[in-house]
Structure 1
Amino acid sequence: MAGLALIGVVVGTALDVGGNDQQSAADASATLGSGQSGTETAQAQAKSLDALLQSSKSSRTAVIDAVASIKQCSNLAGSATDLRTAASRRDDLVTKLSQLTFDRLPDHGDLVAQLTTGWKASAAADNHYAAWADQAAGAKGCHNGHATKTEQTDQGNAASEQATLAKKKAAALWNPIAQQYGLPQRQFNEL
């Protein structure tokens, strides 16, 4: 019984990523701690993953705005900071994902692998774009109000493409689960 309570605490702690997610974490913890049926355990796992997916989209707007600013040689230091913060958040998502169990969900191994790949690639892209911002702030980094493309730009674009492919696969795996348990379906760009 103590082991089940510990699982509930771990799930609740791992999902403490925002005010709205705390209720989902509490629901998931309560279901796991009560020793209920396999279907309900699968539902709790789906709710736990849904809470994590909800928190994943928070950095997207900041990243898009930061890259647009870099292209225009505007707010380079702030953009680099925003991108490094986004990369850190994505790394945190990977850590939290690895601490949870989804063995009752269909194709859970592939789903977790695709999310991990997508978030790691997104973090890499964010870091490459941040390095590009640093380069643009240097001598001859900007020309006529546009940042000069560099190897960091190319590496950021490649990592972003890898992230997009993985997130498309993850969304395709998640959406049938979401539909089954009455949870929000998501487009790849919401991951």
Structure 2
Amino acid sequence: MPGDSGPPAEFDSLFRNDTPGATQQMPRIDASAPHPPGRPQPPHQAHQPPPPYGRQAPPAHGAHAAQAPHGAHGAPPPHGAHGYGDYDDYDEPGRRRSKVPLVAAVVVGCAVVGLGAGALLSGGDEKPAVDKAGAASPVAPAPGPSAPASSEPAPDPVKDQAVELDKLLADSNDSRDAVIRSVENIKKCEQLDKAASDLREAAGQRRELVNRLRGIKIDKLPDHTELSASLTKAWQASAKADDHYAAWADQVKKPKNCKGGKARNTGSTAQAAVASGEATGAKREAARLWNGIAETYGLTKRQPTQL
């Protein structure tokens, strides 16, 4: 700068070799000298950046400097101060700098890539759960194919009740033929004792049907209340009619009540007719209600006279 008298003496001493303890530059390397075998030829550069702190800079091209004697500063020259500095892969002649960190980085990178590829190839399978003790819990197996559905239909409580009532109705017609035959014999004044016995037995069967009806459940059937009342009334009325016909048979045994092989009607005959009419009306209503249920569930339909 203007006004300066020149560089300070300390700066000038850096380039002199006559100052005791001054730092001296390394000897210049002859680029034409034969290069040691096995070592790469350092490139000739017109200008090189300064070495990092702690490394001795390579000598300037063409600069004259004397090599400092060993121990000039009380210690051997710094490591790597053999003319190549940080711009070479060598620290000492014939000895390559350690590349362990680079190899380790490559190995780690390969391991990471391998793990990633394995995860992709595995299809993202879930890892087994680990409990607090550190033991891997077994992964639940994938559910197998579901069992085929049963071909049997689910139970139908309505149909079950209908089937039970159908069995009861099938027994209600057992005494019908016996009743018809007994009444015809009374009219002809024939087999009066047997007719009376068969009629009373039929009346007992009618009452038994009423008891059995009370013992089964039909509460899920359509119009079950009306159906139960109609059947009960029909069978009770039929039982009364059978009893009155049996009493008529006993009366016809008297000669005055049987003239010319023909029985005379009595008060029992009239009562039997009234009860029989009540039974017929109730049977018609019961048959109507039952046949609708029978058609729904494929059961036997019945006429009023079959009840």
Match runs of 1:141-160 below 5 Å? 141-160=257-276
Amino acid at match of 1:170: A
Number of equivalences: 154
- Unaligned ranges ≥5, structure 2: 1-153
Amino acid at match of 2:159: Q
**1:60 is aligned to 2:176:** yes
In structure 1, C-alpha distance between the alignment counterparts of 2:287 and 2:277, rounded to whole Å: 15
**Cα-Cα RMSD:** 0.9
Q: Which residue of 2 aligns with 1:108?
A: 224
Deviations along 1:48-84, one digit per CA (max 9) or x if unpaired, are 0000000000100000000000000000000000000
Q: Which residue of 1 aligns with 2:289?
A: 173
Q: Which residue of 2 aligns with 1:7?
A: none
Kindly state the Cα deviation for residue 140 of structure 1 after the two structures are TM-superposed.
Answer: 1.1
- Unaligned ranges ≥5, structure 1: 1-35
- After TM superposition, which residue ranges in structure 1, 4 or more long, deviate above 4 angstroms? none
In structure 1, C-alpha distance between the alignment counterparts of 2:278 and 2:212, rounded to whole Å: 21
Match runs of 1:27-176 below 5 Å? 40-176=156-292
TM score, norm. by length of structure 2: 0.49
In structure 2, C-alpha distance between the alignment counterparts of 1:103 and 1:81, rounded to whole Å: 36
Task: Tell me which protein shows more helix as a share of its residues.
Answer: 1
Kindly state the Cα deviation for residue 139 of structure 1 after the two structures are TM-superposed.
Answer: 3.8
**1:188 is aligned to 2:300:** no
> Alignment partner of 2:189: what SS?
coil
> Alignment partner of 2:174: what SS?
helix
> Alignment partner of 1:140: what SS?
helix
In structure 2, C-alpha distance between the alignment counterparts of 1:136 and 1:41, rounded to whole Å: 51
Q: Which residue of 2 aligns with 1:24?
A: none
In structure 2, C-alpha distance between the alignment counterparts of 1:134 and 1:168, rounded to whole Å: 31
Kindly state the Cα deviation for residue 138 of structure 1 after the two structures are TM-superposed.
Answer: 2.1
Deviations along 1:136-177, one digit per CA (max 9) or x if unpaired, are 012412111011100100000110010000000000000010
Amino acid at match of 2:268: Q
